[in-house]
């Protein structure tokens, strides 16, 4: 146990140092990601104010609600998105470099997990001020949240969204043990993720189909954290949903462990 903790700490520390080596490039890339926020606000403003009769509410969301929802979705995505994780695992399996994890006392999933933790910590360090500025400028769009339960639920949902996002994408990458090319699968997943996570529109807008989507893990990547702070879930339902999110994180973790072990059994690499 102590050895594992030391290894994980070294991985985390080294990964953070690696990120800060290219801090200028990393900071610029992080700040550029805030540009879509502005365009999205203009887009929804145009939608709600089209024609001579501006729309006051759409499917229970006013323009202020949509701005607040989208900004909170961006926070959720900052935790749950794992750019390059699936494709990186698939590439390592395909070209054989995954064997470095098999010959060294470092578990691949554990290494990638702490590498992503380091990435997120540096990202939050860089992005906290821009996020604070945007939320301050848009403070009038948000409802007053005085319930400590909602704040705690929001924070817990974000932390669990990181786990769900990581293990979901890692599982997709591990499919490369069985299929040589998974780029098409990853593209389909990206499109489904964008829609079913609530990143494009709130899941409330999907009608009867939305009831089915509520049981999938995708909603915990973006919609659920935003809906928590917007008061879409009563406190008794919120506890149940948090438990379901934790359950999905556990299921995906176990699925990754099984997929990795079975994949390694069928894996073969020749040469240096």
Model pLDDT for residues 152-166, shown as the tens digit of each residue: 999 999 999 999 999
85, two tokens: 């994780």
Which tens digit of pLDDT belongs to each residue from 110-145?
889 998 998 888 878 777 887 888 888 888 888 888
Q: What is the CA radius of gyration of the chain?
A: 20
Which tens digit of pLDDT belongs to each residue from 250-265?
999 999 999 999 988 8
Whole-angstrom distance, CA of residue 9 vs CA of residue 125: 19
Which tens digit of pLDDT belongs to each residue from 195-245?
999 988 899 888 877 788 888 999 999 999 999 999 889 888 999 999 999
pLDDT class of 272 with cuts at 50, 70, 90: very low
Task: Give me the pLDDT at residue 42, please.
Answer: 79
This prediction's pTM: 0.87
CB 224 within 8 A of CB 161: yes
31, two tokens: 């700040």
Within 8 A by CB and 6+ apart from 61, the residues are 69, 202, 204
CB 240 within 8 A of CB 156: no
Tell me the C-alpha to C-alpha distance, in Å, between residue 40 and each of 47, 48, 123, 175.
11, 12, 22, 34
For residue 233, give the 3-state DSSP assignment.
Answer: coil
For residue 174, give the 3-state DSSP assignment.
Answer: helix
């Amino acid at each position: 146990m102590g050895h594992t903790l030391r290894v994980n700490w070294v991985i985390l520390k080294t990964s953070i140092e690696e990120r800060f080596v290219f801090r200028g490039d990393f900071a610029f890339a992080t700040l550029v990601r805030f540009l879509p926020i502005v365009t999205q606000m203009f887009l929804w403003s145009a939608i709600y104010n089209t024609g001579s009769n501006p729309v006051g509410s759409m499917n229970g969301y006013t323009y202020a609600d949509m701005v607040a929802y989208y900004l909170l979705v961006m926070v959720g995505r900052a935790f749950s998105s794992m750019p390059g994780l699936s494709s990186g695992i698939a590439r390592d399996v395909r070209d054989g470099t995954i064997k470095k994890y098999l010959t060294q006392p470092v578990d691949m999933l554990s290494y990638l997990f702490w590498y992503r933790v380091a990435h997120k910590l540096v990202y939050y360090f860089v992005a906290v001020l821009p996020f604070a500025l945007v939320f301050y400028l848009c403070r009038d769009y948000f409802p007053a949240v005085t319930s400590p339960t909602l704040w705690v639920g929001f924070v817990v949902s974000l932390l669990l969204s990181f786990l769900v996002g990581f293990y979901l994408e890692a599982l997709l990458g591990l499919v490369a043990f069985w299929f040589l090319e998974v780029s098409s699968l990853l593209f389909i997943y990206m499109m489904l993720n964008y829609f079913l996570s609530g990143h494009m529109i709130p899941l409330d807008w999907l009608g009867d189909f939305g009831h089915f989507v509520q049981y999938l893990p995708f909603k915990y990547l973006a919609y659920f954290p935003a809906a928590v702070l917007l008061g879409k879930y009563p406190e008794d339902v919120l506890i149940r949903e948090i438990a379901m999110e934790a359950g999905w994180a556990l299921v995906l973790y176990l699925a990754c462990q099984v997929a990795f072990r079975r994949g390694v059994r069928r894996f073969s690499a020749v040469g240096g």
